[in-house]
């Protein structure tokens, strides 16, 4: 199936966005943001795959064995760290929101704030 991984990418994005938009709980919303980001991982790793090739590590295979694209893997690694950083920051906001507002519902946050 040559397009199946990409259909999965679109599905994950859709599910994540749906979760963010219909969420009633801040932590759930932040996790759905992670899901949205995960669609980009699948996309990155999916476009770099080469059928029949090995992982791009040459300590146990000869030097010029055909390998999958290493650049997207490096990009995905960067993205994981970026996402972890953003999530940590957002979760700390959520903790403070709970302390200040007493609720984690985005709609009630807006109402209480005025």
Partner 1 sequence: MDQLLPLVVVVPLLVAAAVTAFGPLLRSRRRLLDLAAILAAAAVAVMLCVIMVRTTGGDQVYWFGGFRPARGVSIGIDFEVQPISAGLACLAAVLVTAAMTFSWRYFERVATYFQALMLTFLAGIVGFCLTGDLFDLFVWFELMGVSAYALTAYRPEERGPIQGALNFAITNSVGAYLSLSGIALIYGQTGALNMAQIGVAVAKHPADRLVVVAFLLVIAGLLIKSAIVPFHFWLADAHAVAPTPVCVLFSGVMVELGLYGIARVYWSVFGQALGHRAAISHVFLALGLLTAVTGAVFCFRERHIKRMLAFSTISHAGMFLIGIALLTPLGLAGAAVYVIGHGLVKAALFLCTGIVLHRLGSVNEPWLHGRGRPLRVTGVVFTLAGLGLADLPPFATFLGKGWIEASAGPWLIPVLIVCSSLAGGAVLRVAGGVFYGLGDRPTEDPQMAREAAEETSETAGGKNRTPLTMIVPPAILVVAAIVIGVIGQLGHFVQAAAVRFEDEAGYDATVLHGAHITHPVALSAAGPTAVTATDVLAGLGSVLGALIMAGLALYWRRLPLLRAYRPSASLAASARRFQSGVVNDYITWVVIGLACLGGVFAFVVRLAGSAPPASDLTPRASRISHASPLLPAPSHNVVTTTRL
Partner 2 sequence: MTPRQRRWIFLVAGAGLVAFYLWGLLGLPGFGRYPGPYGPAILRVVVAQTNATGVVSAINFDYRGFDTVGEEFILFVAAAGVATVLRRLRGERDRPAVDEAADRDVPDTSSAVRMVALLSVGPVVLAGWWLASHAQTNPSGGFQGGVMLATAFVLIYLSGEFLVFKRFSPVDLTDVVEAVGAAGFAAIGVSAVAMGLPYLKNYLPLGQVPGAVSSSGTIALISFFVGIEVAAAFILIVGELLDQTLLIRRYSSGRGG
d(CA 5, CA 2) in angstroms, rounded, equals 8
HSE at residue 71, side-chain half, CA atoms within 13 A, is 2
Among 26, 27, 31, 85, binds partner 2 (CB under 8 A): 85
What does the per-residue mask of binding to partner 1 show for 42-81, with x meaning CB under 8 A? -xx-xx---------------------x-xx--x--xx--
Please identify which residue in the block is written with the tokens 């090739």: 53
Q: Does 114 bind partner 2 (CB under 8 A)?
A: no
CB-based contact 94:88 (threshold 8 Å)? no
CB-based contact 104:94 (threshold 8 Å)? yes
Among 38, 40, 48, 114, binds partner 2 (CB under 8 A): 48
Tell me which residue of 88, 89, 108 sits closest to 98, measured CA to CA: 108
Residues that bind partner 2 (CB under 8 A): 1-7, 9-10, 13-14, 17-18, 21-22, 24, 46-51, 55-59, 63-64, 67-74, 77-78, 80-82, 84-86, 88-89, 91-93, 95-96, 98-103, 107, 112
């Amino acid at each position: 199936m040559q397009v199946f991984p990409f259909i999965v990418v679109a599905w994950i994005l859709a599910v994540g966005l749906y979760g963010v938009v219909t969420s009633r709980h801040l932590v759930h919303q932040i996790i759905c943001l992670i899901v949205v980001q995960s669609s980009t991982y699948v996309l990155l790793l999916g476009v770099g795959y080469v059928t029949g090739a090995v992982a791009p590590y040459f300590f146990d295979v000869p030097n010029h064995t055909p390998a999958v694209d290493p650049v997207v893997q490096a990009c995905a690694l960067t993205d994981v760290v970026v996402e972890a950083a953003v999530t940590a920051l957002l979760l700390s906001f959520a903790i403070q929101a709970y302390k200040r507002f007493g609720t984690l519902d985005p709609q009630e946050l807006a109402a209480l704030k005025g």
